[in-house]
Chains A and B, each alone.
Chain A
Amino acid sequence: MAEVLLAMEGLEKTFPGVRALRGVKLTVKKGEIHALMGENGAGKSTLIKVLTGIYQKDGGTIIFDGEKMDAKTPMEANEKGISTIYQELNLVLFQTVYENLFLGRELRNKFGAIDRKGMIAEAEKILKHLGIDIDVTKALNYYSTAIQQMVAIARAISIRAKLVIMDEPTSSLDAQEVQVLFGIIRQLKEKGISVIFISHKLDEIFEICDRLTVLKDGEYVGDYDIEELDQFRLISLMVGKNTVTFERQKQGYGFADANPIVSMNHVRQGMRLNGIDLEIKQGEIVGLAGLLGSGRMELAQVLFGTRKPDAGEIFWWQKPAQIHSPADAIKKGMGFCTEDRKEEGIIPHLSVKENITIALLPRLHSFGFVKTKEQDNIVRTYIERLKIKTPAPEQEICNLSGGNQQKVLLARWLCMNPQLMILDEPTRGIDIGAKAEIETLIQELSQSGISVLMISSEIAELERNCDRIVVIREGKVTGELMDADITQDNIMATIAKGSESEGRGNG
């Protein structure tokens, strides 16, 4: 049991402009279920990609099963006995279950032809052993995601993997399927196979894992036996006390009598929002705290019209909102800076000027022609006001730094005179200087009567900036903090609390 299977030491990986891994350490023992924890951008997936040969490390050592390993391709890692089960399965959906199990190592009969009968029999045996009783001659896409995942695991076992890596395997499974998956993971453990388990659902971590390693911002925080930790400790390790020494300036809660700009009543959406109640008042900065997968992103998407709620009501200035598309939300006076700037924010090859005014253009024309003079004036105003560093307004936005891109996106909404700004991770991947500027700007917005819904996984940032903090967990509001109660410890305690009251019961 104590024998070490995998020891990664002092791992370094740098991408242009980012040090993704800085001396990271990971030790996994034989037959151990080991969780890899950390928020987005902590370096989990980079670490896994280095281990499995998708990326090449820049420094450090990997010792696997007593041998030094430096896989150059995923194939090589696979041959050494490392199997990865991704969120997106790397199986061939249109082929049958047994073909998938034997993909690339098909059984042959004595004439060298493919031995289908033999493969079918063998596949049935392997799957039965795992307690899965399915028709192996059906195409894989005939079955649910859960079963597909089981097949992937069965494949890993049948190629004699020593280490199985599971990246968010439960994200699309329901509670029952999760239990079946856990049953199989426990079987792996009994066979002496180690598992690296990545999940954002803390309850699952505490249920299935033996030990865990926490990463933060590409650095190794520590590894712990699961018994030494409770959820609160784990969350504080993951989000950490921030090193930036801004202090919370706010005192008192001045919005008790203000009018609500937005109210959500029992809003449900898919598996992510399970009856959200939320109210935002005029000029108020509401922080939305919760771990990844808690529904914080989906809440913003429902509000902005990119996701349709299944049930519940949304009111805008106390009238039914009727928001069916981002265009509707923008017309009402909302702006939305998404978490993923690159994919859902900037229009990379258009200029800074056009990126600032793209949402405003429908109001900035006469007979369809862009009013270029006014456009130039607005652009100049916001470049100065937000101190956007760009050689010229005509510069393509993809050439700017992350912080300046974010400022351009803020400018895009500010020039619309919004009433509510939704900011999802507004300072992620931004240097400290720009971060302080953006935080100051958020306070200015609030003072001028603009409401802000701020989503952040950085607790310290929420503490500094928000008038009220709403905590959600598994798609429900589980707590609310105001005024003097807003401290990092309280926020983390509230995030952790949700599960201990109900999570244990059905766990």
Chain B
Amino acid sequence: MVKIKRDYIQIAMLLFFVILNSLFTPNFFRIGNFNNIITQMCPTILCGMGMTLVISTGGIDISVGSVMAMAGVLTAKLMPVTGLVPAVMAALAASVLVGCFAGIMVGKLRLQAMVITLGLMLGIRGLAQVLCGGRDIYFNKLGETGKALSLWGTYKIGGQIPVQIVPMAIAVLLVWILVEKTVLGRQIQAVGDNIKSSSLAGINTSLVLMIVYAASSMFAGLAGIFQAAKVSVAAGSSLGQMAELDAIAAVVIGGTPMSGGKASVSGTLIGALIMQMITLTCVMNNIPDQYAQVFKALMIVFAVFIQRKQVK
């Protein structure tokens, strides 16, 4: 009985919000509304997938918001010179480098993930602002390439479904396969569960940790590019701000324990949906955003409370 409750509690929470909205929120089932959910969830899902991996190793990565900004600005900066695809590649490569640095610090040198990624959060945010020269870069001033990138944020597949569904679906699928089906996935969870035993079983723990942080940064970079495309502007100071907190919240609500050892990809997906539902419920019922934040806080505390029972 208790076991069932644990596994399905996130789904139950999500259902609760769906039912609540279908009763009280007018226009809840309109297609435009679902499209909104998809576009707004994109950064949380992308960062959340990387964060699921990081947290399942017992670490944390609070630099993802800043990495988003860096990747967005870098793409916008390079694009007029190199063209769209090379610019995106370069931005992703830079993101991966940042992640590798964090991974080496955490894995090889055994430094605190919180402290390292806090440093990166500040440093990379600064770097993003330096890169864009303190001014936001508007894509409509970048000519054809600017228009092309804007499409990454505004295109609707079949004239209906927002393009963001593509990176989200790919990210969720990739990470799910990684966690459930691959050798690396087992090793990630083993390292998070007991790093000493893992090392004695021949796992290269520092390499595993480096890959995990690199993946987290890569997803963050991707999120940054898509988010910049959506608003058609790359702003070093505001792009991806607080994104790390949304991602962590989604992971925690989704049931991946902060102490590591278990990764729940579907949980993070549901966690992100729940967070989005709270925002949506409040917005569509004219409840001020401040209240939405309080509800989210309650959800997080509730999720941690449930985890406490799991440990017992």
Q: 0/1 per residue, A316-351, Cβ < 8 Å to B?
A: 000000000111011100001010000111111110
B77 within 8 A of A: no
Given A327-B202, A327-B204, A354-B190, answer yes or no on A347-B197 (Cβ-Cβ < 8 Å): yes
Complex CA distance for A343 and B198, rounded to whole angstroms: 10
Which of B182, B200, B203 has most chain A Cβ within 10 Å? B200
A306 within 8 A of B: yes
How far does the Cβ of B7 sit from chain A's closest Cβ, in whole Å? 14
Complex CA distance for A384 and B199, rounded to whole angstroms: 27
**A350 contacts which of B182, B193, B202, B204 (Cβ < 8 Å)?**
B193
B1 within 8 A of A: no
Question: Would A349 and B262 count as touching, CB distance under 8 A?
Answer: yes
Q: 0/1 per residue, B162-190, Cβ < 8 Å to A?
A: 00000000000000000001111011011
Closest 8 CB pairs of A and B: A330-B202, A359-B201, A327-B202, A361-B183, A349-B261, A347-B193, A368-B182, A347-B190
Question: Would B182 and A358 count as touching, CB distance under 8 A?
Answer: no
Complex CA distance for A338 and B203, rounded to whole angstroms: 16
How far does the Cβ of A56 sit from chain B's closest Cβ, in whole Å? 22
How far does the Cβ of A355 sit from chain B's closest Cβ, in whole Å? 9
Question: Would A369 and B182 count as touching, CB distance under 8 A?
Answer: yes
A365 within 8 A of B: yes
B196 within 8 A of A: yes
Return chain B residues, CB-CB under 8 Å to A412: 201
Return chain A residues, CB-CB under 8 Å to B198: 347, 358
Complex CA distance for A358 and B186, rounded to whole angstroms: 8
B194 within 8 A of A: yes
Return chain A residues, CB-CB under 8 Å to B202: 326-327, 329-331, 359, 362
Return chain B residues, CB-CB under 8 Å to A436: none
Binding site for B on A (CB under 8 A): 304, 306, 325-327, 329-331, 336, 338, 343-350, 354, 358-359, 361-362, 364-365, 368-370, 412
Question: Would A345 and B183 count as touching, CB distance under 8 A?
Answer: no
Which of A304, A327, A345, A364 has most chain B Cβ within 10 Å? A327
Which of A330, A350, A364 has most chain B Cβ within 10 Å? A350
Question: Would B183 and A350 count as touching, CB distance under 8 A?
Answer: no
Question: Would B190 and A370 count as touching, CB distance under 8 A?
Answer: no
How far does the Cβ of A116 sit from chain B's closest Cβ, in whole Å? 34
Which of B183, B196, B201, B262 has most chain A Cβ within 10 Å? B201
Of all chain B residues, the one with the shortest Cβ separation from A365 is B183
How far does the Cβ of A396 sit from chain B's closest Cβ, in whole Å? 10
Given A368-B183, A370-B182, answer yes or no on A350-B199 (Cβ-Cβ < 8 Å): no
How far does the Cβ of B209 sit from chain A's closest Cβ, in whole Å? 15
Question: Would A358 and B203 count as touching, CB distance under 8 A?
Answer: yes
For this complex, into which size category does the number of interface residues on chain B fall? 20 to 34
How far does the Cβ of B68 sit from chain A's closest Cβ, in whole Å? 28
Return chain B residues, CB-CB under 8 Å to A354: 186, 190
Question: Would B201 and A370 count as touching, CB distance under 8 A?
Answer: no
Complex CA distance for A412 and B201, rounded to whole angstroms: 9
How far does the Cβ of A470 sit from chain B's closest Cβ, in whole Å? 23
How far does the Cβ of B194 sit from chain A's closest Cβ, in whole Å? 5
Question: Would A358 and B201 count as touching, CB distance under 8 A?
Answer: yes
How far does the Cβ of A160 sit from chain B's closest Cβ, in whole Å? 42
Complex CA distance for A349 and B199, rounded to whole angstroms: 16
Starting from the known contacts A350-B193, A361-B183, 8 additional A-B residue pairs (CB-CB under 8 Å) come to A331-B202, A344-B200, A350-B186, A350-B189, A358-B198, A359-B202, A362-B183, A370-B186
Return chain A residues, CB-CB under 8 Å to B261: 347-350
Question: Would A361 and B186 count as touching, CB distance under 8 A?
Answer: yes
Complex CA distance for A45 and B189, rounded to whole angstroms: 34
How far does the Cβ of B57 sit from chain A's closest Cβ, in whole Å? 13
Complex CA distance for A235 and B182, rounded to whole angstroms: 51
Complex CA distance for A354 and B182, rounded to whole angstroms: 12
How far does the Cβ of A419 sit from chain B's closest Cβ, in whole Å? 15
Of all chain A residues, the one with the shortest Cβ separation from B184 is A368
Return chain B residues, CB-CB under 8 Å to A364: 183
Question: Would B204 and A370 count as touching, CB distance under 8 A?
Answer: no
**A370 contacts which of B181, B196, B199, B203 (Cβ < 8 Å)?**
B181
